[in-house]
Amino acid sequence: MIDNLGRWHWFRPEDPGTRPIFHMLAEGLTPVAMGHANGVVTIGVAEADPVVRTSRREALQEPYRTMVGHMRHEIAHMLWWRLSLREDFLEAFREKFGDERADYTAALQRHYHDGPPPDWRTSYLTSYASAHPHEDWAETAAHLLHLTDITDSAVASGLSSEEMPANWDPYSEPDTARLINVAASLAIRVNHINRSMGLSDLYPFVLSQAAQRKLAFVHDWLRRGAQGR
């Protein structure tokens, strides 16, 4: 994940901003609260156990839950924090995702008590993204990293498709629509391959038009944010 972000110059020598510190914590009687605060990313390592991870995924009715997914989600919160220090970011963010100054604790309590809005799929990538603008950003940014690395892994493995340009570097691609088109086409193909072996879909999500616009916003800022362009 860190190396992937480095392709967009995050956390490389040319990046003048704060680097992440990771607290990888075992669990006691209660689960570790994963999250980010002022450059410190906390990850509970219990879910490296597939039994624990699967039981939590099913309890939360999630279609996808992995350790790399947790890492991408939590580093996304840090990337938001880094970007929020820019004068030109917050207003643009609020126009796209809403006002993050809304009470976060109350929003999560409401989400877990009442569930997501019935039409959440029209505006969000996941039900959890509907809980609060911070979580919408983190889920969207994590999915952008998922989709970009799906395509990059395909290129590195020598796979090809009619949608994929020749000699293509997904991390250099400025057009989010093209990136999403290639990633989605690859994901659909691999989903079918996984199903032939009785495995879960590689990417079990539907990208609404609203979600694609948010992905484009995140893509633009992650590609230019680390060096202040």
Which residues lie below 8 Å from residue 177, measured CB to CB, with a gap of 6+?
212, 216
Per-residue pLDDT reduced to its tens digit, 194-226: 999 999 999 999 899 999 999 999 999 999 876
Q: How far is CA 136 from CA 54, 63, 132, 196, 218, in A?
A: 23, 17, 6, 33, 11
Residue 151's pLDDT is what? Answer: 95
Q: The whole model's pTM is what?
A: 0.93
Q: How far apart are CA 161 and CA 189, in angstroms?
A: 10
26-35, 130-139, 178-187: segment of lowest average pLDDT: 26-35
Can you tell me the mean pLDDT for 153-166?
Answer: 90
Per-residue pLDDT reduced to its tens digit, 176-186: 999 999 999 99
Residue 191's pLDDT is what? Answer: 94
- Which of the four pLDDT bands, split at 50, 70 and 90, describes residue 63? confident
Q: Are 34 and 70 in contact (CB under 8 A)?
A: yes
Q: Which long-range contacts (CB under 8 A, 24 or more apart) does 30-36 make?
A: 34/70, 34/74, 35/74, 35/77, 36/74, 36/75, 36/77, 36/78, 36/81
